[in-house]
Amino acid sequence: MAEKTFREKMEDRLHSWRRELEELQLQLHLGSKEAAEKLEEQKKRLSTWMDDNRGRFKEVEEEIGEEAREFRQAFNQLLEKLRKAPAKTKEDAKSQEEELSATMDKLQEEAEKLEEQGSEKAAGMMDDFQDRMARFQAHLKVLTAHYAEEAVEEWKEFREEAREKIEKLKEQSGEWQQEAGEEWKEWREEFNKAFHTLASAFRRDKK
């Protein structure tokens, strides 16, 4: 099978992300029970993807060596946390979100390091990994917010702000699709940064 061109890779990623954004918009309107169920689905989806890609991660470890140790440790920690029982209370949900986010932030830092050190194949694996983490974090923020927002009016405000941010990012993705002349890594970093900013904006610390 022929290697995909930059434009093909970019279009595949953009189409995929636009589907994710549309799903996020639907999730903003779920009830608490449905949001909890959807979050467990997302956790299972990510853990299954990680299990399915263990072989690819192993190849990266063998290629890079000891430098991949911290990545492997955080990888196993994330899998363990993803498999924990569902949160039962608002406090449990916020604690779970904070633990998962911290571990994923660490993993993405390590993935960026390995991307610079390895071969093109290793860089591609780390690219896929960072993309998957960014997707899950966005869902995690939105779905956990159903637990975290106590007041109805506060939740409505949060939901409207999130909807506007999602619409803006969808517009930006259309613009980026016209910029196929850029290097893949540069474009991907800009897109993932925008989505990371979106996910970060979903977090609200309530007393």
Distance CA 203, CA 75 (A): 23
Q: Is 131 exposed, middle or buried (0-12, 13-18, 19+ CB in 10 A)?
A: middle
pLDDT, residue 165, reads 75
Give the residue extent of every domain in the chain.
6-201
pLDDT band at 205 (very low <50, low <70, confident <90, very high): very low
The residue with tokens 């930006």 is: 172
pLDDT, one tens digit per residue, over 114-152 is 888 877 788 888 888 888 888 898 888 888 877 665 445
Which token pair is 187? 């474009």
CA 41 to chain centre: 14
pTM: 0.77
Query: Which one is predicted more confidently, 61 or 168?
Result: 61
What would the pLDDT profile of 146-204 be if each residue is shown by its tens digit? 766 544 566 677 677 777 777 777 777 666 666 554 555 666 666 666 666 666 666 54
